[in-house]
Chain A
């Protein structure tokens, strides 16, 4: 096993251990704060799986988060549908994947890459938010939908009820851990290696027999499906869904989380999401107008000084000291 993989697994294990012991020290409110941050972390990991592996930036990822959220809300709020929570999650994941498949098909097979892809997905996010506002008979318009029940379903003989703080925290942590681990094993194996090759030189990869547009499309769809899952989890925990959840601001924030945490690391974006939201709450509590200014500055500094994210500080320091020794 190469050192980079070992380090990743080590950091992953430390994060899981911290998540396990955290409830011993934290009260109910703090648990729900971390739980919600973890859901956004899952959302950030979903963007990173696509952006980090393909180098193509999706600027409308919140659209999939929002689609997942609205589908979950509509399914669970409808009393006629049995097994609401379970069907809602499946519907949210499938709905986000479906929209991504349609849009992605035309973009990838039409040869749209780079900034053009970013611009089209930006428009997609705006359209989704507008649809959520305007289609008020279904989506509740600007005020959204409220009273979404907590997740509750039977898994064999096990009854899962997430109306309490601790069970919902455990459920969300477990989903985030399993998903991040799964995405990591996909992206370090054959699938990820070919994606890196496509990112380096798509024409070359195709000349070697790889169907590059199809591979990009499947990666995009998987990424959107996980964003939809995150959206579904979030609306059940928050109890409401609103147009903001598919909006431009959230799409921008998730990019900042990934950039700060370290693109391509999957774990970094989860940590980035948690830290930045934590900082947001602390700073906004004494001056609400200070936060956007600070966020912007942090983003600019990260892009210039640490383009590989905060997790790269260690590697950078190591390189610095090694370089220093060689110079002597």
Chain B
């Protein structure tokens, strides 16, 4: 039991009259990779916000290494070892790529990887001096992954890491994550099926705020119910 990193139990959240999430459970073990998928509006991002402590669930609990993290200030959550990549690429546009990574390292309690190694990991070795605001969209996403790595997380949460990427970039991103697998736990929220297929990991399918299915991806992919939901038949 000691290798459980993040445990969400019976999480529910209400916004006024809307039950956005209901009775969700998720257990992330150390160094495990898992995906959360679901059609638009299924509650993926909301669930991720709950997992990072940004939103406090109205019922249930989220525990990271046994601590309740709901409502902690953002920088405290980061220092516990939870890194997050936002859905919209949020790099610091007026700083260079290198400075972006430096700012990320300075925030970490004990950074290990030097900036040069981070640059290579996210394939931006030749763009170190470029202003982050001038990068192409896909490169911004990678830079953000690099910034998340810089804080040497125990858990990396990715919110639609491939949003707006070309198919090639999407597969390159999946490769990047597969290479990092085994160093820390990764939870990716995604609706690009090609990306999830490339990762081929434990997958949780959300639909209308509830768990629809969970299990290894190849089981999910062949599931009739999941197909119906994705095709809008239900």
Contact = CB atoms under 8 A, between A and B. Distances in A.
Interface of A: 190, 193-194, 196-197, 199-201, 203-212
Interface of A is mostly: helix
A156 B210 CA distance: 75
Contacts of A193: 95, 99, 102-103
Interface of B: 73-75, 77-79, 83-84, 86, 90-95, 99-100, 102-104, 106-109, 147, 150-151
Contacts of B104: 208
A206 B93 contact: no
Contacts of A194: 103, 106
Contacts of A212: 75
Given A210-B106, A210-B107, A197 B95 contact: yes
A193 B83 CA distance: 20
A200 B94 contact: yes
A292 B217 CA distance: 72
Contact of A210 (B75, B83, B99): B75
B217 to A, nearest CB: 28
B27 to A, nearest CB: 23
Contacts of A203: 74, 90
Contact of B106 (A190, A196, A207): A190
B90 A204 contact: yes
A205 B84 contact: no
Given A197-B99, A208-B151, 19 more contacts: A193-B99, A193-B102, A193-B103, A194-B106, A203-B74, A203-B90, A206-B73, A206-B74, A208-B75, A208-B83, A208-B150, A209-B75, A209-B107, A209-B109, A209-B151, A210-B75, A210-B106, A211-B73, A211-B75
A203 B73 CA distance: 11
A190 B95 CA distance: 12
Contacts of B94: 196, 199-200
A193 B115 CA distance: 15
B93 A208 contact: no
A189 B77 CA distance: 26
Contacts of A201: 90-92
Contact of B92 (A190, A200, A206, A209): A200
Given A207-B84, A209-B108, A210-B106, A197 B74 contact: no
Nearest to A190: B106
Contact of B93 (A190, A200, A210): A200
B103 A210 contact: yes
Contacts of A206: 73-75, 78
A250 to B, nearest CB: 30
A193 to B, nearest CB: 6
A201 B150 CA distance: 17
A208 B95 contact: no
Contacts of B151: 208-209
Contacts of B75: 206-212
Contact of B95 (A196, A210, A211): A196
Contacts of B107: 205, 208-210
